Amino acid sequence: MAAVLERSFIEICGFERETLHRFRDVTVNLPGVSALPGGQKFPDSGGAFHYEDSGKLLSVTSNRFIHWCTTGDSVQLVEQSLDTNLLNNAVRLHLSHCSVLPGGLVVQETLSNVIILVSTNQSVHRLVLPHPTRMYRSELVTELHMQSIFTDVGKLSLHEPSHSAIIPSIVGQNGSPSTSTAWLSESGEAHYALASPAGGIRVVSLPPLGTQGSVSVVELKRSSMMLRLSGWMPSSIRGEQSPADLALSLAVRELEQDTFIFALCQDHKLRMWSIREQACLLEADMLDYVPSCRGLKRQSGTAHRLRVSSSLSGLCVCVYLSVPQRGQFTVLQLVATDNNRYSLDHISSLFTTQETLVDFSLTSTDIWAVWVDESNNTVVKYINFEHNTAGQWNQVFVQPAPEEEVHIGVDQDPRETYLDVIFSPLHFTSSAIVKALQIYRRGSQRSVDPSWDNLKKEVTVAVETELQSSVTEFEFSQEEYRQLQVEFWSKFYACCLQYQEVQSLPLGLSVSYSTGLVCLLKKGFVSFLLPCFAVDHLYLSSDECLFSEEETPITEDPDLSRDLLQLVQCLRLVSDAVSGGMAYEMEKALEHLESPERAAELVLENLLSNDEENVIEDIQNKLQDIRNPIAAMMVLLREMDLETDSDVGVDGLVLPGLNLRISLSQLLGSSCAVSVVCQAVCHLAMTRTLFCRDLLILQKLYLRFGDNMFLGGGAQLLQLQQDLIPRSSNLLSSYYLLKHISQSLASCVPIDIIDANLQHLTVLELSDTPALSTNRSVPSPQTVLELFYQTAARKLVISQIYCQQQSSSVLLWSHMISNVVILLAQLLWPSNSGFQFPECLMGNCQYTQLQEYVRLIGPWCQVNIGSCRFMLGQCYLANGEGQKALQCFQEAATEVEKEEFLIRLTGTEEEEVASTPRLQYYNKVLRLLEDVCLPELVIQLASLAITEAVSDINSQAALWTRIFKHHLDLGHNSEAYEALTQNPDSSMQQDCLRQLVVVLCERSQLQDLVQFSYVNLHDEVVGIIESRARGLDLLAHNYYELLYSFHINRHNFRKAGSVMFELGMRLGREVRTRLGLQKQVNCYLAALNCLRLIRPEYAWIVQPVSGAMYERPGASPKRNSDGDFSSEPVKRQVDILELKDLEKEYVVSRSRLTLAQHHPPSAAIAGSASAEEMVTLLVQTGLFDLALSICQTFKLNLTSVFEGLTFKCIKLQFGGEEAQNEAWSWLAANQLSSVVNTKESSATDEAWQLLASYLDRYPSANARHHRCVISKLLSHGVPLPDWLIKSYKEVDAACLLRLYLNFDLLDAAAELVLEYVDALLGRGHQYFGIERPLSATSSSVWLPYTSIDQLLHTLNETQTNSSVYNKVRDKLDDYHKLVEQTTKRRLVAQ
């Protein structure tokens, strides 16, 4: 692992591009305080306070600190954490009419509170805030956001005496304190040490909070005797403006139940005051430690600084003396002697050439200092004051200011180029851009929404508006417009540079004693110092430092170390020689995937052709001093190669202890830490990209020089060409990829797309993978690297670190941050097996960035090829390019068993039968394609997968089923049938067949369904259609018609007829509507047609059983529908129906339909009515023709028909007009007589005529029909129509007589007897059906004597009928006489 660290550090800016601190303003107005005339102005300053437990992992205050910036009368306080985001963490105090003193802000913590002490030139203030540990019940915090201690600062009454006080004035003393410090005593008193303008120190004290008391003041000033003894004389005598003991810098420490104030005065002396004794216990002249200090004593110090720090050996004091042309740090140790006396031991004196010291910090071992040089550039260095005999300062590579000019390529748009540079992650803060925008607009507008996207839009609009307003011509060339763009955008860019420079002005330096965290406090943001890796240190070192180094921690071999340093010096010469244009061309070559080697050759050609300063010759001279360049290059390449055999991103690392795991879940998780870590990786990538570029150019130069540069001759040259140059080229591409990743902004994704993507990941069973977890709460924009770090990498990296180290509860900044950076870079390294970064991009819908990632690694990276193709396929799917996606998925299949991601993707599921990994992969992809509704691609991929499943019948069956399903969905019926027939699994084939039948029926594509050949599947198709037909609603589905067509198409007419007959039967039972009856008639007609098409001996069918006896598909053979055990099956007789039977059923069904047409309510009961029942229903409705037809067909008695018609005639006879009108409807349904009446007939007449016609048309034995009609009429008391009497007399006069007698119609009976006797006697014999009357030669005649005797008996009993009786008696006597005569004649004739 390339994690060899150097002693140097590198500055990483911690500003969050999107976030502007929302300062809450709190103003303190103290009564009696007014602005001092000509008040002294103090420089801006900054500082930081680190919590005591900030280095403990299991603490609320881990990696947490407060930093501040003072400007005039305002103090900006910000609480920051590297672990969690703090809410309401920024406050701005306005101390009216006061100026904050240098060193005038001190923060201290107690168990319950954080106390902020502020000293100004006229007042002192104390802010008491809750300690973070008191704000939460538990020390373990699991939230992403926490409340800051400044949350309730607005509730404090800062103007009250307990929080603020005015510094008491001294009579006759003018001016304000020049510096200050403050501390909190153990008793809770707040003490403020102020450097008095008259010399000495004033200590202002506030009583403990919550106690009664007033402000107290103590003057620490030497007596006049002491002044004389020390050689002091009044400043007025010496002509000085201020006293010699005026303190320039103050520091305070509590030791041995006393408090000591250290004061570095302008007479170059250090004085130590005791608060308890109120006396100066120590005075030391710092010029004693300055070599060649002649003349310095006469000069008063103005920029001296003092810091105090505790170490293992005691209290250390560091004094910075600012003298012309140089500065000196003197480190002294306080030594206690007897009798409360103290002395100083000299530890070290360190020198520096920088002039303007901004701030420095003293730790137990080091001095950290920040300067500003003559060019206003920030310079930071540190040194170990105990073990540095050479006095060599360690470098800190500060962030350089953005380039003053932006290089714009010929093919680039100026606006886009400037926007990319201005809004890139590393160059400008939001506040700098906002202020530049305000100035550019000349203050006409204020930015309401400073969000990154809106700010970008506003900048674009402002510059373009300014450009257009300056254009006076309507037409100009494209080149002129391009020049205008460059002019106006460069103007805005200059504004950004100006304000970024102001924002970057250093104000202070802070070092955490707990973690070693070094913060550089600037006017607009805070930056952090990270340890520098050895390779980066070599490349970034200044020339003088690089030339002065003799060894490097990269290697322990001194000879190799010297070669390495010489080689790096050559690389620096190459770097200086590469112009901006060449560097741009090289970068473009990498972006466009051109060969890095070829691009390096072009750059080298340019260097050789434009070498005006003989740089190449200098390089050649230095190269000759390198003994083993191949070994040196190999060391560099090894150190820069981040490829590792260990699995950096191993999931499932279990850390001991729940509390530790919870704390680690927050560690370095704040937005500030995310920005720092990712910018560190970005800086690493940028540095090493340049390093590899220059190394590749230098290697090409070696090839130019040939064997002369190698002691080993041709073998080393061959090794350089075949091994080292390709490795350098690969490293260059890899670091360029990391640089691209760290600078590419993530896209904002709508929530619906995130949800859809999550569904796709669920299909792939990847939604629980840590690398694929989405972070919906992450603010935007952010780089894709920040997105990756927040959502996946941080957890992996932190777990890796804490599983390897022993001490898990101590946070050491240098160790922690360097490991995090290098492990994060290894997670991104394309040559490592881990694939978490592309997984993260896919999980967060960053498809454009993922495509670019795959594009950049495609030509040269041979790791995770298949996984990258799969990811690219995912991108194409998301963009709607399905065919391209399928191609990528197919290409990825070859690597399924080789790459970790694809192996995890194809992990065998418990419920699935294990198959080959490639088939599992195909199944996952097929599910994905189905989820995004791309059936054509599913068919293509499944067809390909079948070739892989030659020996796996189950997989083949599943794939053929898939193909069938999607062909069917697409309407490819023939292809679906073909897939069905190819399926090797009979059960799946049955399922597909059933689905085919159902779907084609629903689509009404019956022609296709019927015409398929169904080889070896004929019975199954019939069974499926039959089961569907018998199990579904008859009117909603047409499976019977389908089955009929199926059999007709195969000329199986008997089966077709059986199907239609069964349908007709079910329609009669289940669909008792007119429509159902109509369909029933059609079914029976179709069945008749089918049977008539076959030979008579085969024209029969088996009568279908009743509906309850159908065998339901899937029904239990042992239990019935209620779940009870079925009884033993009963053997049923099979009924055979012939053609005549079907014809009878057709007649009945036709009558049912006619009945329903004439009387719709009858349809409900007519469907299942028998022939006898139908006759009754038809008679009731008046359909006598049909009733008679049924009776004749089924050989039924016609009596009911005649009785029904007779009854209707009776009703009409006595009914009103309404009955007459109603009668016409049923009369019209019967075939009336063809006799044309001359007069208009009534419905009654028509009815009687119909009855008469029926009696004529349907004769019966013994005139049974007449008798029933007459009986019906007589039973209702209706006189018999003449035509009826006449017709019946001809048939059966005797029966008519009996009917008369039965109904007591004596007169009619007597009349009939008289007529009948007359007929026998020869008068009207033809009316009684008598061929010849009574005579000797005719056949015998007879009389119904029994009926006549009954008539005579009845007439004889009634007196009213005596005349009739006599007539009958007389007529009979006449008849008897004639009979007697005729008998005698016949006898004589014999």
Give the model's pLDDT for residue 325. 75
Give the model's pLDDT for residue 705. 85
Query: Is a pLDDT exceeding 50 seen at residue 1151?
Result: yes
pLDDT digits over 599-648, tens only? 999 999 999 998 888 888 889 888 888 888 999 999 999 999 999 876 65
Kindly state the helix (H) or strand (E) to which residue 1319 belongs, with its residue range: helix 1306-1320
CA within 13 Å, CB half, 1367: 16
Give the model's pLDDT for residue 227. 42
Pairwise CA distance, residues 241 & 232, whole Å: 15
Give the model's pLDDT for residue 1145. 85
DSSP category for residue 1278: P
pLDDT digits over 555-567, tens only? 888 899 999 999 9
Query: Is a pLDDT exceeding 60 seen at residue 914?
Result: no
57 near 72, Cβ under 8 Å?
Answer: no
Give the model's pLDDT for residue 1098. 86
Question: Which residues are bridge partners to 165 per DSSP?
Answer: 124
Helix (H, G, I), strand (E, B) or coil at 816: helix
Q: 1107 pLDDT band (50/70/90 cuts)?
A: very low
Query: Is a pLDDT exceeding 90 seen at residue 74?
Result: yes
Tally the residues of the chain.
Answer: 1390
Q: Look at residues 529, 519, 528, 522 and name the one whose alpha carbon lies nearest to residue 501.
A: 522
Taking residues 988-1007, what's their average pLDDT? 88
Query: Is a pLDDT exceeding 70 seen at residue 300?
Result: yes
Pairwise CA distance, residues 605 & 1178, whole Å: 113
Of the listed ranges 69-78, 166-175, 822-831, 1066-1075, the least confidently predicted one is 166-175
Give the model's pLDDT for residue 869. 95
Q: 12 pLDDT band (50/70/90 cuts)?
A: very high
Question: Which residues are bridge partners to 1058 per DSSP?
Answer: none
Maximum CA pair distance of the chain?
210
Q: How high is the mean pLDDT of the chain?
A: 85
**Cα distance between the two ends of the chain:** 157
Q: 322 pLDDT band (50/70/90 cuts)?
A: confident
Taking residues 1062-1082, what's their average pLDDT? 85
- How far are the Cα atoms of 1309, 1348, 1359, 1372 from residue 1314, in angstroms, in the given order? 9, 10, 20, 8
Q: What share of the chain is helix, strand, coil (3-state, %, to 5)?
A: 50, 15, 35
Pairwise CA distance, residues 615 & 601, whole Å: 17
Give the model's pLDDT for residue 1318. 81
Can you point out the beta strands (E) in 468-563? 506-511, 518-522, 526-533
Q: Which residues contact 952 (CB under 8 A, 6 or more apart)?
A: 915, 916, 919
Residue 923 token pair: 């199944």
Pairwise CA distance, residues 306 & 546, whole Å: 32
Sequence-distant contacts of 230-234: CB under 8 A, at least 24 apart: 230/283
Helix (H, G, I), strand (E, B) or coil at 386: coil
Question: Which residues are bridge partners to 45 per DSSP?
Answer: 70
Pairwise CA distance, residues 196 & 244, whole Å: 12
Torsions phi, psi for 406 (to 5 deg):
-105, 125
Q: Which residues contact 82 (CB under 8 A, 6 or more apart)?
A: 63, 64, 668, 670, 672, 673, 676
268 near 302, Cβ under 8 Å?
Answer: no
Helix (H, G, I), strand (E, B) or coil at 352: strand
The separation between CA 642 and the C-alpha centre of its own chain, rounded to angstroms, equals 33
Give the model's pLDDT for residue 226. 44
Query: Can you spell out the DSSP letters for 1161-1218?
Result: GGHHHHTT--HHHHHHHHHHHT-HHHHHHHHHHTT--SHHHHHHHHHHHHHHHH--HH
Give the model's pLDDT for residue 242. 66
Give the model's pLDDT for residue 711. 61
Q: Which residues contact 861 (CB under 8 A, 6 or more apart)?
A: 733, 734, 830, 831, 868
Q: 315 pLDDT band (50/70/90 cuts)?
A: very high
Pairwise CA distance, residues 66 & 131, whole Å: 12
Percent of the chain with pLDDT over 90: 40
Query: Is a pLDDT exceeding 80 seen at residue 1013?
Result: yes
Q: Which residues contact 1242 (CB under 8 A, 6 or more apart)?
A: 1220
pLDDT digits over 847-878, tens only? 999 999 999 999 999 999 999 999 999 999 99
pLDDT digits over 214-224, tens only? 899 999 987 63
Taking residues 1174-1192, what's their average pLDDT? 82
Torsions phi, psi for 223 (to 5 deg):
-70, 165
Pairwise CA distance, residues 435 & 455, whole Å: 11
Q: Look at residues 571, 570, 588 and name the one whose alpha carbon lies nearest to residue 580.
A: 588
Query: Is a pLDDT exceeding 80 seen at residue 1262?
Result: no
Give the model's pLDDT for residue 1233. 54
Sequence-distant contacts of 602-610: CB under 8 A, at least 24 apart: 603/578, 603/697, 604/697, 604/700, 604/701, 604/704, 606/579, 606/582, 607/574, 607/577, 607/578, 607/582, 607/697, 608/704
Give the model's pLDDT for residue 92. 95
Taking residues 309-334, what's their average pLDDT? 89
pLDDT digits over 438-483, tens only? 888 876 566 555 677 788 899 999 999 888 888 777 777 888 888 9
Q: 690 pLDDT band (50/70/90 cuts)?
A: very high
Query: Is a pLDDT exceeding 90 seen at residue 530?
Result: yes
Taking residues 543-554, what's their average pLDDT? 79
Query: Can you spell out the DSSP letters for 666-728?
Result: HTT-SHHHHHHHHHHHHHHHHHHHHHHHHHHHHHHHHHHHGGGG-TTTHHHHHHIIIIIHHHH
Predicted model pTM? 0.80
pLDDT digits over 124-179, tens only? 999 999 999 988 765 555 566 789 999 999 899 898 999 999 998 876 677 789 99
358-367, 900-909, 1341-1350: which is most confident: 358-367
DSSP category for residue 501: H
- How far are the Cα atoms of 144, 486, 797 from residue 823, in angstroms, in the given order? 23, 41, 6
Taking residues 1321-1332, what's their average pLDDT? 74
